[in-house]
Each structure stands twice: as C-alpha cells, then as structure tokens.
Amino acid sequence: MTALDLSSPVAVVGTGTMGQGIAQVALVAGHPVRLHDAAPGRAREAADAIGARLDRLVEKGRLTAADRDAARARLLPVDELTGLAGCALVVEAVLERLDVKQELLRVLEDVVSDDCLLATNTSSLSVTAIGGALRVPGRFVGLHFFNPAPLLPLVEVVSGFATEVSYATRAYETARAWGKTPVACADTPGFIVNRIARPFYAEAFAVYESQGADPATIDAVLRESGGFRMGAFELTDLIGQDVNESVTHSVWRSFFQDVRFTPSLAQRRLVESGRLGRKSGRGWYDYRDGAERPEPHTAEPAEPPAYVVAEGGLGPASELLALIREAGIEVREEDEDEGTRLVLPGGGQLVLADGQTSVEFHDVVYFDLALDYRTAPRVALSHCQDTSARTVAEATGLFQALGKKVSVIGDVPGMIVARTVARIIDLAHDAVAKGVATEEDIDTAMRSGVNYPLGPFEWNRRLGRGWAGSLLEELHEREPSGRYAPSLALGRHAYASDKREDTP
C-alpha cells in the first residue's frame, strides 16, 4: 500500500500536547483533519490552539497566509466519535492506560470502515496488547511521534504481533509523505529509542551514585567529550524526572526486570521528593529565580610533560598522537604488540578507558572516550588515591596543552562516555539480532529521535570491532550482576568480523 491520498480525512482522538502536534502535522501535509476529545469543548480549544500555531508559522515565514487559511478550513473539531466515520486514518493519543485505549478502539471499530488504518501514539504500552481488543487487529499499528511532533522528524512505525505488512507499509509511507523520518520496528518494550537510550541515563546515574562525579561534571563530559546535545541530568530535568523514570520502569518491567534496564535509586528519591525538573523548579539542578547553575569540575592549570612514550597505538584515541606532536610535545614510539598506552616522564601511564580501574595497577591515569579528540573541548581523567601526584599533574597538563579542559573524576571503571557508548552499542546489536529493527533504522532513530552524534552502529564502526565487547567484559568482571555482560549478538558480530579479516 502507498501513502494515504491527501483527500483522505485523518482523525486524532485526544487533544493534549501530542494529539495537537500530530493533528498539525497531518493538517499542514494537506489532509482534512478531525479532532475529538472526551472532555466537552476540548476539541474546539485544541483547534483554536492549532490555528494560533499556524499564525505563528506565517509570522515566521514558514507558511503562507493562503496555506494557513486552507489548513484552517480543513480542520474540524467533532464532539462525538461518530463524527469520525469516513476517516482513512485515526490516531489515538489518549491516556497511557491499556484499558482506556482498548475501550476507545472497540467503539471506534464500530464507527470507521474495516479498512481504516487505526494507530496508537503510545510510548510505553504494547501495541499488540492494545490491538488485541480489535475485531480486525491487522490494520492496527503504532505511530510513535516525538514531542514536539511538528518539529521532531522521527516517527517509529511499530508493528504489533497481528499487524499486517500492508497496513504497516501504508503507515510508514504516510509518515514519510508528511515530511517525517519513519523507521520500522517490531513491538518490543521501548520500541527503538526508549529501549536503546536507557544506558545514556542509567550510566550517568550510576557514576553519580558511586560518587564518581557530580551531575554538572558528568553532563559536561557527555556534552563536551561525548558530543551529545545534552547531558543525562539536564535532559531528564527537561523531560521531567517522573516521566523519564516512568519510561525506565515500564521498559524494566516489560523485560521481566532485566538487570540491564534497572532503574536508578537516586532518581527514585528525586521523584519522591517532588523535584521533577524544570516544571517543578528543582530537579538535579535548581531552576528557581536567582539560583546559580553549578559548574563542572575543571582542573587547575598544570605543566605539560616534555615528552610521552607511545607503546603501541591508542586504538580509538590514536589521533591524540598527532595532536600531541602539534602541541610541540615529543612523541617517542615503541612497538608493543599489546601496548595501548602513553608512558609519562615520571613513569606513570595514561590509558584509554577500558573497563578496568586505576587501583588495580601501579600509577595509572585513565582518560575517557571522546567523539573527536581534535575538537572536543573537554576530556575526563580518572585515578585512584594511590596514583602519584606527578602522574596526575603530567596527564592533566598534557591534555591542557592540547587545548582541553580537564575534569578529574573518581576511579570509575569505564568512566563516563566509554561505558555509556559501549552499552548503547550492545543494546543496539541485541535489538537487531532479535528482529526489532535494522541497523540503518536504529542509527536513524537514535540520531533523529534523541540527537545522538552518531548512531550505535556508526560508533561501533568508528571504534573498531571488539572494542565495546572488551570494555563490557571488563565491567562485567568488576560488577557481575549481569548489567554489563555483553550480549551474544555483540560477541557474534566481533567473531564474524575476525573471520572475515582472516579469510584469504
């Protein structure tokens, strides 16, 4: 099936922020749109609100006055569900309760034709379970828009267990015709984005709970070293701590309390205290009038070393060698089959985060992964209390000589960016192996849905086969709960890559 014809009416049931946004998208695309809400008068209020947003689009030059007037003429609020008869697509965006959605769909099915495409915008419930109430479940899909729907491009097109391919294709092509970026996925807890994004929050919270670093420092490292648009703490404050925690709990419960998705106790306490983020005035940060934003930890200036000895390459951090030379610091290279470190003049070692801890070795400072060491404005270092002050100073001065701010954190295995990226890569491989989505759609979803600088598979290709699995194995050895155990899919990927390289 192809996309819906623009003459086909589209209906949205539920006129909250998301319902209004979806209606606006369909309206601007050219469809007649009908709005319904169970609360009397709410559909009319929503139509007026959409009209006001169209006015703003005209003011900004993004819509012509003629197109606005035509769109307003196509927008019709209806008081009764019977007013949705004849619609080719109905999207429900009502309360996130299974019983509420199922009852609505039972009634809708008696109103619309049997070939009307029915869709849910649920972000946390099973599409299969919602559609289980239908007489014709094959025409039911998930159309998960991201808020704000008119601005964010991604739409997850979710096929339930009973969804027919032809209807999923129609939904996909319709979303694309509306100017969105659709990705196809199976009905799995969290779909693509909310499943694979869990480590971004979870690992930041875990570093905080282990007293490795404060929220401002962790956020700064994720942004300025990892290349993420926002840090985990500021992002969850924006989303709402209650909303973010609810999604985490939903995914965790749906996966039968899989330890990989375990919620954060620190976030639970935040929610219990009513500190929900920006909307309540306080979350991880204080947003009340006059409150000062805490600064990330930044090391004081230190003298750079006169030289470094590179034992082997630095793997994903190999570009550092050129940067060090450009900074006027001598690089002495020694061939080491297993060496992937820099030796400093005082004898201490500087090693890329690998899932181990500084306390296990003599005089070692770890440095975190960066998206691009040349452009990253900040790099994190970690060490234990036994690391010599000279080694810490030389490591700090080295990165400062490269023009980087340095944040020194506790002796946390995998540090911040490295452990986060490794877990995201692992969950992405696991999702592909279980038929959730393709590699391409997962990369697209993570870039478009949550603005990651790279998709998980792009990260993996850049970092090299085996990197994520090796780091996770080391983390698992130090925390054998199963949280960091690399998936079979990730291991198979590394082994398959080995075999391809060994084939003459």
Query: Catalytic pick from 92, 109, 121, 123?
Result: 123
Residue 422 to residue 403: CA distance in whole angstroms: 26
Indicate which residue of 121, 124, 126, 156 is catalytic. Answer: 156
Q: Which residues of 149-170 are buried (b: 16+ CB within 10 A; e: fewer)?
A: bbebbbbbbbbbebbbeebbbb
Catalytic residue among 31, 144, 429, 493: 144
Tokens of 308: 């470094």
CA distance linking residue 225 with residue 376, whole number of Å: 5
Contact 9, 32 (CB under 8 A): yes
Sheet holding 307-311, edge to edge: 330-334, 307-311, 341-343, 349-352, 364-367, 378-382, 405-409
Q: Is the peptide bond before 263 cis (omega within 30 degrees of 0)?
A: no
Does residue 451 have an active-site annotation?
no
487 is catalytic: no
In whole angstroms, how far apart are CA 25 and each of 7, 108, 180, 182, 375? 15, 22, 9, 14, 37
Which residues have C-beta within 8 Å of that of residue 337, sequence separation ≥ 6?
A: 312
Catalytic residue, from 194, 244, 407, 487: name it.
Answer: 194
The DSSP annotation for 167-182 comes to HHHHHHHHHHHTT-EE
CA angle 441, 445, 450 (to 5 degrees): 165
In the numeric block, the tokens 């999207």 are attached to 91
Within 13 Å of residue 247, how many CA atoms lie on the same side as its CB?
Answer: 20
Residue spans of beta strands (DSSP E) within 149-244: 154-159, 181-186
> Taking a C-beta distance cutoff of 8 angstroms, is the pair 260, 427 a contact?
yes
Residue 144 is among the residues annotated as catalytic for this protein: yes
| Catalytic annotation present for 164 | no
As to burial, measured by CB atoms within 10 angstroms (0-12 exposed, 13-18 middle, 19+ buried), residue 32 is: buried
- Residue 182 to residue 175: CA distance in whole angstroms: 6
- Is the C-alpha dihedral spanning 405, 409, 414, 420 positive or negative? negative
Residue 175 CB partners (closer than 8 Å, separation 6+): 143, 155, 157, 182
Spatial contact of 147 and 238, defined as CB atoms under 8 Å apart: no
Which residues are catalytic, by number?
123, 144, 156, 194
